[in-house]
Chains A and B, each alone.
Chain A
Amino acid sequence: MRARILAVDDEPNMLRLLKTILTSKTEHEVVTTNNPMEAAKLLKEEPFDLLITDLKMPILDGMDLIETVKQIDPNLPIIMITAYGTIETAEEAIQKGAYDYITKPFRQEAILITLKRALEWRQMQLELKSLKK
């Protein structure tokens, strides 16, 4: 499945690297923004299958973003990227509805596996929804 992924991180370098790796190792389409305030706008405008976001960002952090995203698409899996030492906050993010978190720096395989699982989860949610209809 070719999925559309939105990646949000206030640090463009990380974003760029993430995009390079995801597009070179998967078939997914990756849209990025370094402005968390733009994320909600993008999600409203276009369909996405997955959101990868940094936890700690200026103005609108990843935790706030979860709430906004849940209102737009409650089934959108969210992978949080957290810095080492903020595990508690990451766990809190899971409580709030994030799918999973990953601590940076991380191995390429780690994000690829998490992403694969999240997309499978997304697929299952959508199938479940259509069965219930």
Chain B
Amino acid sequence: MFKFLRRFLKEEPDEQALLREKFVHFRRLLDNNNLALATMADMEEKASGDFLFDTGYLDSQVQTLSSAVGEMIEALHHLTKDRYRQLDLVYNDVLQKLLATLKTGAIVPATPPILWLDQLSKELSASCGAKMANLGEIRNRLQLPTPQGFVITASAYQNFLTKSGLAAQIESILEEADLKDLRSVETISQQIRAMIREASLPTDLVAVLHEAAATFQDRPIAVRSSAVGEDTLFSFAGQFATLLNVPPSAIVDHYKEIVASKFTPQAIFYWKFQGFSLHELPMAVGCLTMVPARASGVMFSLNPQAPEQQSLIITAVWGLGTFAVDGSVSPDIFELKKAAGFPVLSKRLGQKKKALRPQPGGGLQEEDLSPAEASQPCLHEEQLQTLAEIACRLEEHFQGPQDIEWALAASGEIIILQSRPLRLSAPAFRGRRPEKPHVSVPPLLSQGVRAVGGVAAGPVFMLRRDEEIPHIPAGAVVVLRQPSSRLVQVMDRLAAILTEVGSPTDHMTILAREFQVPTLVDVKGVRQTLHTGQEVTVDADLAVIYPGICTELLSKPVGPAEPWRQDPVFVRLRSVLAHISPLHLLDPASPDFAPGACRTFHDLTRFCHEKAMDAMFQLDVEASAQAKGVSRFRSDLPINLFVLDLGGGLREPGKPLITEDDVTCPPFRALMQGFCHPDVRWAGQVAVDFKGFISVFANTLYDQNKADTTLGGKSFAIITDRYVNLNSRLGYHFGLVDAYVDEERNDNYITFQFKGGAASLERRERRAQLLALLLEDMGFKAQANSDLVRGRLVKYSREETIEILIQVGTLLAFSRQLDLALASDDVMHKIMAAFKAGDYGLRSLQEA
């Protein structure tokens, strides 16, 4: 019985408590939005190449980011009563992709177990490793002589490890291993290598290998590691085994030997403690005809000691190249100028006392050479020329200096064994810009916050509206009032971006960083100082803008491309960022601005932030307005305004009657300050007389009983210490302002809406247009649709937002006068000019 009664006696939901709760979620969403944007900006900054970081950094940033975005979505669910539940699916999808990118190494493409060298090109490096893929490229695309043969693919390697059960066994050994000293690591390494040698290959692989090896017709072969990522990944890579002059009949054992060489003590240590998969660095193995070289060596297509000399280096020894690489013989060294005819700049003949030669029955033999042979040059002029030509062709083809292994066959033919990017060393601090570069002209502006560093020059393009974006010419320095993420459409062809307001962590700057477009934000006065077509140079590092093209700033430092960009953490950061930074949700008004269209964390934050602002804007405050604890705002104006403080908005909450002095909420104070502007006429309505002049008619109702009568229904404001949501009803007009003002620029926004009126639709529409134009002039993105106007302004500083709110307050009060006045477009333009000039009483338009 009591239970039954209790159900009926259950308290009504406390509307104010619900509102407070909503505000808490809104605040949570804003905080996490900032955290997410700052984290994204930080990651983009790291991708610029100026920083060193490790995978620990990547893990923790992804953790921070995914939790921030998750929190935003949760908060949005509360704010919108689960309207966007689909976001959960999208979020999980993005997160899974992100984690997969973060954790796994390269995905091994499914290929046949072997691929012939004739089939290879550099695109197949994920299947064959760069070493063999490049060799295929050299053979097939450059038509240069190479050994013949095939590669046992990374896919075959994975099958071997999985099907033989080795992967599971090795993992359990690593798990149980107690590595306490060097010896224990070495022991485990030996143990695993032995297991691999003893393991059986899948029978189908054995069959394929034997069949392929038969094509060598018992001629000895070279078996070389070609691990995927060997050149770019892991410091301990590149030390894997090579077997020279071995019989093709034992191909299975050779293959296992090379695979076993992957399990070095360093690799063991890594897998044990870094939590990475054994499947990383998948081992492809090249099986090639042995070149019984008369001489061999290494050449660098650019002298690494003095790259500016534009010379190349060729080293050579007798026999196989092993002695040239390991330093056991002092080789001949030739330096050739990279110019027509390749003149020899210098020649140093080494004493090549021994040579390594393949033996007819297999195996290698060290052969002592006579003093005459030892000092004889390995290469004559013509051969040097041929090698130099090849080096230049390879450098051109692979678009960078190369480190090339070559062999001179008995026939005199030069055969390429390998070509890989040459790592150039450079003196310390080369390429670093001087602290204060000398520029002969005085700067136009020394202002702004560096969002993306760099120097660029080009003609200015003043972007006034997003619609003009397609007209931005390539190479332009775009100047706009505040960051617009829609610029991403043309970002690949911009020289630089300058914005008058904005922060280095907003959507646009994150994208600019991705595209490496030098960007300055918060450049005060930039729109007044620069004009379209004017050529300028932007030094985004030092936040200076110069007139004209300053070649002294633009000259690029000489030196190699930054090699660390190819390093694994950078590569991984970039692949992680692919799921984070790109922004696809550009236009909130577009039907594509929807949960299903979100593909990255950036999209999700953008969507949540936008919809949260909408949700606050659409707060249902009716019920709260009826509730207790609401204060009536007393002023001289004929408005019926009630205020509900959700926390910190009033000096003393709960007072039934308050005045302006009781209000501590800065955005509300600003609004009311503008609203109560002394010039705004309250005593009447504005209309146009038959001569087309503006006149103000007395409002008898207002004059008769000022104290109690209002110009309409009840107006209502929800406030906190930094937030206001004002529903104003004046006459037949409905105005709504929702604003948030804080120190954090990314949080700040004003949403404005105005609708209604008693005049004809034509005049109401004209007023909507007028308001939209005035709002745009203040910096809003505004849209008029019939008699409804909506505008939103985001990410201005606290002071700027307050200043604009004062104007918005004035506009709100001012616009109620316009009910009947807008008889023509001409009048509209006159009124607009008057407002802009600060003539809120429209004195300039009245008949004298």
Give the residues in chain A near B234, CB-CB below 8 Å.
Answer: 12-13, 16
Interface residues of B in 37-58 (CB under 8 A from A): 46, 50-57
Instruction: Determine, out of A29-37, A64-72, A92-100, A124-132, the stretch whose residues face the partner at the interface.
Output: A29-37
B266 within 8 A of A: yes
CA distance A19 to B235 in the complex (A): 9
Instruction: Judge whether B265 and A24 touch: CB under 8 Å.
Output: no
CA distance A38 to B183 in the complex (A): 10
Interface residues of B in 408-440 (CB under 8 A from A): 423-430, 432
Q: Given A11-B55, A59-B179, is A20 in contact with B564 using a C-beta cutoff of 8 Å? A: yes
Least Cβ–Cβ distance between B532 and chain A, in angstroms: 37
Instruction: Judge whether A24 and B52 touch: CB under 8 Å.
Output: no
Least Cβ–Cβ distance between B61 and chain A, in angstroms: 9
Least Cβ–Cβ distance between B273 and chain A, in angstroms: 5
Q: Given A20-B567, A27-B425, A27-B428, is A104 in contact with B52 using a C-beta cutoff of 8 Å? A: yes
Instruction: Judge whether A25 and B429 touch: CB under 8 Å.
Output: yes
Question: Which of these, B181, B233, B427, B567, contacts A37 with CB under 8 Å?
Answer: B181
Interface residues of A in 13-52 (CB under 8 A from B): 13-21, 23-27, 32-35, 37-38, 41
B269 within 8 A of A: yes
CA distance A24 to B564 in the complex (A): 9
Instruction: Judge whether B423 and A34 touch: CB under 8 Å.
Output: no
Least Cβ–Cβ distance between A40 and chain B, in angstroms: 9
Least Cβ–Cβ distance between A3 and chain B, in angstroms: 11
B145 within 8 A of A: no
Instruction: Judge whether A116 and B51 touch: CB under 8 Å.
Output: no
Instruction: Judge whether A34 and B52 touch: CB under 8 Å.
Output: no
Give the residues in chain B near A74, CB-CB below 8 Å.
Answer: none
A112 within 8 A of B: yes
How many chain A residues sit at the interface, stated as a range, is 35 or more
Instruction: Judge whether B430 and A25 touch: CB under 8 Å.
Output: yes
Say what secondary structure dominates the interface of chain A: helix
Least Cβ–Cβ distance between A30 and chain B, in angstroms: 10
Question: Which of these, B53, B265, B272, B427, contacts A27 with CB under 8 Å?
Answer: B427
B274 within 8 A of A: yes
How many chain B residues sit at the interface, stated as a range, is 35 or more
B236 within 8 A of A: yes
CA distance A41 to B266 in the complex (A): 14
Closest chain A residue, CB of each to CB of B58: A13
Can you give 21 A-B contacts (C-beta < 8 A)? A12-B234, A13-B54, A13-B569, A16-B234, A16-B567, A17-B569, A20-B563, A24-B423, A24-B424, A24-B564, A27-B427, A37-B185, A41-B182, A58-B272, A59-B180, A105-B46, A105-B52, A105-B57, A108-B51, A112-B429, A116-B428
Interface centre among A25, A32, A106 (most CB of B within 10 A): A25
Question: Which of these, B46, B560, B568, contacts A13 with CB under 8 Å?
Answer: B568
Interface residues of A in 78-117 (CB under 8 A from B): 83, 104-109, 111-112, 116
Closest chain B residue, CB of each to CB of A116: B428
Instruction: Judge whether A13 and B55 touch: CB under 8 Å.
Output: yes
Least Cβ–Cβ distance between A33 and chain B, in angstroms: 7
Give the residues in chain B near A12, CB-CB below 8 Å.
Answer: 234-236, 266, 270, 274
CA distance A53 to B108 in the complex (A): 33
CA distance A24 to B561 in the complex (A): 10
Q: Given A13-B55, A105-B53, is A21 in contact with B270 using a C-beta cutoff of 8 Å? A: no
Question: Which of these, B51, B567, B570, contacts A107 with CB under 8 Å?
Answer: B51
Give the residues in chain A near B430, CB-CB below 8 Å.
Answer: 25
Q: Given A16-B568, A58-B273, is A112 in contact with B425 using a C-beta cutoff of 8 Å? A: no
Beyond the given A17-B54, A20-B567, A27-B425, please list 6 additional residue pairs across the A-B interface where CB-CB is below 8 A.
A12-B235, A13-B55, A13-B568, A16-B568, A18-B52, A107-B50
Q: Given A14-B52, A106-B51, is A23 in contact with B182 using a C-beta cutoff of 8 Å? A: no
CA distance A21 to B562 in the complex (A): 9
Instruction: Judge whether B567 and A17 touch: CB under 8 Å.
Output: yes
Instruction: Judge whether B425 and A14 touch: CB under 8 Å.
Output: no
Give the residues in chain B near A33, CB-CB below 8 Å.
Answer: 266
Least Cβ–Cβ distance between A59 and chain B, in angstroms: 6
Instruction: Judge whether B185 and A16 touch: CB under 8 Å.
Output: no
Give the residues in chain A near B562, CB-CB below 8 Å.
Answer: 24
Question: Which of these, A15, A18, A104, contacts B57 with CB under 8 Å?
Answer: A104
Give the residues in chain B near A35, CB-CB below 8 Å.
Answer: 182, 185, 265-266, 269
Instruction: Judge whether A16 and B57 touch: CB under 8 Å.
Output: no
Closest chain A residue, CB of each to CB of B272: A58
Give the residues in chain A near B52, CB-CB below 8 Å.
Answer: 14, 17-18, 21, 104-108, 111
Interface centre among B52, B269, B560, B563 (most CB of A within 10 A): B52
Question: Which of these, A20, A34, A109, contacts B270 with CB under 8 Å?
Answer: A34
Least Cβ–Cβ distance between B601 and chain A, in angstroms: 20
CA distance A125 to B562 in the complex (A): 34
Interface centre among A23, A35, A83, A106 (most CB of B within 10 A): A35
Instruction: Judge whether A109 and B432 touch: CB under 8 Å.
Output: yes
Instruction: Judge whether A10 and B569 touch: CB under 8 Å.
Output: no
Least Cβ–Cβ distance between B451 and chain A, in angstroms: 17
9 interchain residue pairs of minimum CB distance = A105-B53, A14-B54, A26-B428, A16-B235, A20-B564, A35-B269, A13-B569, A12-B234, A58-B273
Instruction: Judge whether B274 and A10 touch: CB under 8 Å.
Output: yes
Instruction: Judge whether B560 and A24 touch: CB under 8 Å.
Output: yes
CA distance A26 to B425 in the complex (A): 7
Give the residues in chain B near A111, CB-CB below 8 Å.
Answer: 52
Least Cβ–Cβ distance between A39 and chain B, in angstroms: 10
Interface string of B265-279 (1 = CB under 8 A from A): 110011011100000
